[in-house]
Amino acid sequence: MIDLAMDMEQYDCPFIDTTDDHGVAFSAVHWHFDTASERLETRMIVEADSHVELERALAALREHDRLHECDTFMKHGDTGLVRTVIDQTNAMQTIRDNGGYITGPFHIEDGRECWEVGFDDEDVADETLSDLERENEFSVTERAAVSPEDLFDVLRNAGPAADLLSACRSLSVTERETLSVAVDRGYFETPREETLSSLGTRFGISDTAVSNNLRRAERKLLGRVVDTAAELDDHDRENDTLN
């Protein structure tokens, strides 16, 4: 199996047109393609720069000529959850006609879309990319051969992976930014390339405040990491017993 991560700009996608004109992003949480009608049904998280921009973006999306249905399930501040039905795009059709399939959730922002697409054959993947070039702009940002063993490993450990993902999502924006800068700037290296004081200077806060932000982030992540590692050990022992 060949797995491709793609940065895609489609010219016939309602979501791309909407994010091109408004400060909003769409992240798919569920999708289903109806082969009879050749339409894609999705449930998507919508994140906007503000509540006003969210309303404007959803209004523009509903008026798009390639959108057939748009139901809003939830709106809270600058975030919403919507169900949509759109026509099949050229890129979708090209990938389906060549036996390709979606392998992960897609994200749309600033007029571009991040896709994860899989193919069973490498030559077919290359042929599909050539076909896509005719009517779409895209770049392949990552390409990986996935073995059956790797795929089975992901499926077997979906639970622990979901727990770790949940831990990452539990971080606040401040905690995530603080942890990211601390890692990038060498705070956790030996010897340290960054100190609490210098981190505080970067963020314009005291070293105590930086320390508190880091501790909260570490507490949220490390507890889940330890639990996840324990679950992986349990799975490995079960597999050894079966084998």
Mean pLDDT of 210-224: 89
Q: Does the domain at residues 152-242 carry the CATH identifier 1.10.760?
A: no
Q: 83 phi and psi, to 5 degrees?
A: -110, 130
Task: Name the band, by pLDDT with cuts 50, 70 and 90, for residue 150.
Answer: low
Task: Name the band, by pLDDT with cuts 50, 70 and 90, for residue 184.
Answer: very high
pLDDT exceeds cutoff 90 at 146: no
Mean pLDDT of 156-178: 78
Hey, what's the torsion of the CAs at 194, 200, 206, 211, to 10 degrees? -60
Three-state SS at 129: helix
Cα 147 to Cα 2, 4, 134, 154: the distances in Å are 9, 14, 30, 11
Sequence ranges of the domains in the chain: 2-146, 152-242
Neighbours of 139 (CB within 10 A): 10
What is the C-alpha to C-alpha distance for residues 179 and 187, in angstroms, rounded to an integer? 9
Write down the pLDDT at residue 167: 78
Higher pLDDT, 38 or 231: 38
Write down the pLDDT at residue 94: 94
Quick one: DSSP state of residue 168?
H
87-106 tens-digit pLDDT = 999 999 999 999 998 887 78
